[in-house]
Amino acid sequence: MHLNFYFMRFSQYHFVDEIKQNLEKLGFNKPTDIQYKCIPNILRGEDLLAIAQTGTGKTAAFAIPIIHILHTKSNTKREDGIKLAVMVPTRELAIQINEVLQTLSRNTRVHSFSVFGGVEQGPQISKLEKGIDILVTTPGRMFDLVSQGYIKLNRVEVLVLDEADHMLDMGFIKDIRDLIRFLPKKRQTLFFSATIDDEIKDLAYSLVKNPIRIQVSPKDPVSKNVAHSVVFVAMDDKRFFLERLVQENPDSKILVFVRTKVRCERVQAAMQRVGVESVFMHGGKEQQDRLDVMNTFKLGKVKMLIATDVSARGIDIPDVDFVVNYDLPEHPENYVHRVGRTGRGRKKGLAYSFCDESEREFLVAIENYIGKQVKVLELAKEGYKEIKDFSLTKTMDLKDILKELEPPVNKRYGVKKAKKIK
């Protein structure tokens, strides 16, 4: 009897026992929507164009069947070269996907490794020379190592492009096209993207052949597991509301998104002054610092991470209770990626946005993008004042207050220049 994949449990798939045991240890009993739709096609060797919002389980959707295929192939030997190449937009995502692959391939004959920029390439080259089956990499570092002859792609059987829309946004299109010519023409290509537009389609159809198109929840880009709402807060009062949220939820893991690197550090400093411990991360930090910060937050050693959008795409941080849009994003699709950091898998999550009068246009764009209104949390003047007074009872000198005052948003350049204080 043919079983519908929707109702199948992982124990009913014809995967090798090692993979089933790893899935069981992780508590993965049934596939998510994107997994049950992708896995059969991947096992049949078909090309895919998969559109699915963040947090739906895309990594496992390609990792599980490919690990099974590589493990069961009698001719799979690491000295034969890389069999699967996974391209991703950021270092953090490369590390995360490699961790997932290593966990799912435990006790199998499949070995994976990640390479990315921002660190010395020597140790990465040493590992590559020992031989691996799966390479997870950012396009820039991959192109460097291919050009130097340290990475051979002539044996690649499967190419995965994950978060493809973000790779285009980051300007990786030329690197991707340059790398394609090093790959065998006869290969399986799996193309994953959270959004789809003409540019994404052009890239996808230049890489895949007669693909199976899979689209999950196309009408609602925001996960149904996330309850999201907005409160109208003056730019200079946002810190008071963030502090209050922390104080009322002391055991919760909170991920805060801001617009710029400067804002990132200012908000962290403001929280520090009122005794709220937090860490921050943005693209200007050294790679090792970024890894240390991410691990500190992932392990729950610090309950609040303040970050720019570099952290929004694809990063799987366990058990984030709240996502706070301290600044509303200028691009509405970034809202989806931000709030997707909570409510992942089958867990519930909460997303709050602080909206200044100058950001209302961003809110309208977000609501148009997700196809529904964001619930407004009404706050009476007395309640608003109470939240401010809650924080202002702590002593702050004039210099600290001036540091926290923020100029209004400028639609074109982000912020207006602050007037000099005479």
Residue 320 resides in a domain: yes
Kindly state whether residues 294 and 204 are assigned to the same domain.
Answer: no
Residue 220 resides in a domain: no
| Nearest residue to 334 (alpha-carbon basis) of 170, 100, 91 | 170
Rounded to 10 deg, the angle between the 17-26 and 58-72 helix axes is 150
Kindly state whether residues 184 and 265 are assigned to the same domain.
Answer: no
Quickly count: other Cβ atoms within 10 Å of residue 150's Cβ. Answer: 15
- Whole-number pLDDT of residue 87: 93
Residue 209 resides in a domain: yes
The two three-digit tokens of residue 179, written as one number: 């790398």
Kindly state whether residues 196 and 116 are assigned to the same domain.
Answer: yes
Domain that holds residue 301: 226-409
- Whole-number pLDDT of residue 79: 56
Give the whole-angstrom CA distance, residue 403 versus residue 266. 8
**With a threshold of 0.75, does the pTM exceed it?**
no
Kindly state whether residues 17 and 81 are assigned to the same domain.
Answer: yes
CATH of the domain at 111: 3.40.50.300
Residue 190 resides in a domain: yes
Tell which of 157, 183, 215 closes a domain.
215
Kindly state whether residues 59 and 95 are assigned to the same domain.
Answer: yes
Kindly state whether residues 114 and 256 are assigned to the same domain.
Answer: no
- Whole-number pLDDT of residue 302: 92
Each residue's pLDDT, cut to its tens digit, for the chain (422 residues) gives 344 445 578 988 999 999 999 999 988 888 988 998 999 999 999 999 998 876 678 899 999 999 999 998 855 455 568 999 999 988 888 988 999 999 999 999 999 999 988 778 888 888 888 889 999 999 888 888 998 989 989 999 999 999 888 888 778 888 888 888 899 999 999 999 877 888 888 888 888 888 999 988 645 566 677 888 999 999 999 999 999 999 889 889 999 999 988 999 999 999 999 899 999 988 777 777 877 888 889 888 999 999 988 755 656 787 899 999 999 998 887 888 788 888 776 678 899 999 999 999 999 999 988 888 899 988 778 788 888 776 665 544 434 434 444 444 554 444 444 333 33
Residue 419 resides in a domain: no
